Structure 1
Amino acid sequence: GQLPPRLPPRPRLPPLSREEWESYREIDGRVSKENEEKFRARVFAGSIDHSIRREVWKYLLGYFRFDATDIERMEEQKAKEREYEVMKKQWESFLPQQEANFARWRELRNLVEKDVIRTDRDVELFHSVSSPQLKQLQNILKTYIMYNMDLGYVQGMSDLLSVILAIMENEVDSFWCFVGLMDMIHDRFEITQEFMRLRIKQLRTLLKVSDPEFYKYLGEKDSNNLYLSFRWLLVDFKREFQFSDLMILWEVFWTLHLSPDYPLFFALAIIEKERNNMMDPKFDFSDIIAHINGLSKNLQLEELLEKAESICRQVGAVDHLPEELQPLVRQPLPPPFTFPSAK
């Protein structure tokens, strides 16, 4: 299908305030299905005020149920605390002989210990070798292995958890938020990498549909397999932004508002923004890779979020989307968020 004209980018809204958040909740603490939809649209359009992130992320990440009352939620939270302690004690209480007979555990535990020590050491929270947060990262990831031995631990998970821990500042809450995140994105950590290959193929098709000229150019430079986006898509642009920007970006992704895989549209926004810089006749494959790697911490988040939404809405309006792109866009696309007009 032909792409319809693209609408101009919509400016981002200010972050969701505590007052607005409370307005979505009933008197007993429940959030109705209708208000949950409004809330997701609102967060998508402006993300969340930092002062309420710790509370609101628990909903976005499925740790707290939107349809639970405050009383039910407190009871569920207590139960989750007990569950966490049970699973944590399992690995803490292994006998030396048990560990010696448990190769899968030893392999995953060693991987966690090796990765955690390299996670975000440039961030103050994790800077010191003796930082309690590094210890918490280890505890959570080792407990996650007990929770989900099939998936276990895969490189990149510590990168996602560290941001959650920085917000939650609590081991149990961070664990259950991480569980919720993994429930959303576990496919990308499969050992076969089949799902990551599918996502890169979808990104390639998106680029081909939205910018055939640049797609062809990348083909001439042996770069149109787009494997340069693997790191972006595995850990949600973790290396490309500072924590303060990542929090905004990730909560937009977690709303699942326009797409179940919005990072693909965000990746396309970066590629489109940089295309003219890369369409240099003197560029070869290694120059393109170097250019992409040089973007780390040099990207303007707000502008890219606005561009990604424009691209997603443009693609969503195509009559006959290629089959592999159809699952990427919610149909019908929800209209852009607007504040209720004053009565």
Structure 2
Amino acid sequence: MTSPCEKVIRRDISRTYPQYDFFKEKHGLGQESLFNVIKAYSLYDREVGYCQGIAFIVGLLLMHMPEEEAFAVLVSIMQDYKMRDMYKPDMFYLGLCVYQLECLIQENLPDLYRHFRSENIHTSMFASSWFITLFSNQLPLNLVCRTMDLFLSEVRRLFNECLN
């Protein structure tokens, strides 16, 4: 099937992990796998469609598993871990996360908070990409992998606690 997001997905593919050989070659295996998984998800969840941050999560998954498994894990992250709310068109939950981080900075790092205010630096300027990529475009790959492991492990634990 054709996705209404295909043109935008194609445009963004080369911006996803360009420093890694797997994703460097235009229309190479990595870029095509990335395109296939993201396109499939945009068709699977038409409300979310596509958001650039998804590409970094999918890219990380593709470094460790084939397309079919990456798609299944992406669906789980989006549904079971409630990440899809971050990518909905209104991005309400992304804004909520940024607001919560700003409150934490204000409460726990008041000097930094005042400095940000004096320099007219808004938390959304740096934190939005952190949240929509699960830090995968900000940290070294070994740390990104560990962060993803912790995210999946911790969120699963919290859900299990809520169910019990």
Q: Please give the range of the TM-score, normalised by the shorter of the 2 chains.
A: 0.7 to 0.9
Contiguous gaps of at least 5 residues in structure 1: 1-90, 92-98, 100-104, 261-329, 332-343
The equivalent residue for 1:237 is: 135
Equivalent runs, 1:319-334 vs 2, <5 Å: none
- RMSD across aligned positions (CA): 2.3
Higher relative contact order structure (alpha carbons within 8 Å, sequence separation ≥ 6): 1
Q: Which amino acid aligns with 1:111?
A: V
Give 1:258 deviation, angstroms: 10
Conserved? CA contact 2:51–2:87, under 8 Å: yes
Equivalent runs, 1:104-143 vs 2, <5 Å: 105-106=3-4, 108-143=5-40
The equivalent residue for 2:103 is: 205
Cα separation, 2, equivalents of 1:173 and 1:253: 18
Q: Which amino acid aligns with 2:143?
A: D
Cα separation, 2, equivalents of 1:142 and 1:257: 26
The alignment status of 1:171 with 2:67, answered yes or no, reads yes
Conserved? CA contact 2:53–2:129, under 8 Å: no
The partner residue of 2:94 within 192, 196, 201 is 196
The equivalent residue for 2:41 is: 144
Q: Deviations over 1:170-204 (max 9, x none)?
A: 11111101111122211111211211111111111
Cα separation, 2, equivalents of 1:135 and 1:197: 31
Q: Percent identity?
A: 18
The partner residue of 1:187 within 50, 71, 85 is 85
The equivalent residue for 2:56 is: 159
Cα separation, 1, equivalents of 2:107 and 2:7: 44
Cα separation, 2, equivalents of 1:247 and 1:155: 19
TM-score, with length taken from structure 2: 0.84
Task: Provide the aligned length of Structure 1 versus Structure 2.
Answer: 157
Q: Deviations over 1:200-232 (max 9, x none)?
A: 111111112212233223222222x31222221
Give 1:145 deviation, angstroms: 2.0
Query: What secondary structure, in the 3-state scheme, does the structure 2 residue paired with 1:230 have?
Result: helix
Give 1:133 deviation, angstroms: 2.1
Conserved? CA contact 2:13–2:31, under 8 Å: yes
Cα separation, 1, equivalents of 2:143 and 2:135: 10
Cα separation, 2, equivalents of 1:149 and 1:124: 31
The equivalent residue for 2:116 is: 218
Give 1:250 deviation, angstroms: 1.3
Cα separation, 2, equivalents of 1:211 and 1:189: 28
Query: What secondary structure, in the 3-state scheme, does the structure 1 residue paired with 2:16 have?
Result: coil
Give 1:256 deviation, angstroms: 2.3
Conserved? CA contact 2:60–2:136, under 8 Å: no
Query: What secondary structure, in the 3-state scheme, does the structure 1 residue paired with 2:52 have?
Result: coil
Conserved? CA contact 2:47–2:88, under 8 Å: no
Q: Which amino acid aligns with 2:73?
A: C
Q: Deviations over 1:219-263 (max 9, x none)?
A: 22222x312222212212222222222101111122226997xxx
Higher-helix-fraction structure: 2
Q: 1:123 to 1:220 in 2, by over 3 A?
A: same
Q: 1:244 to 1:143 in 2, by over 3 A?
A: same
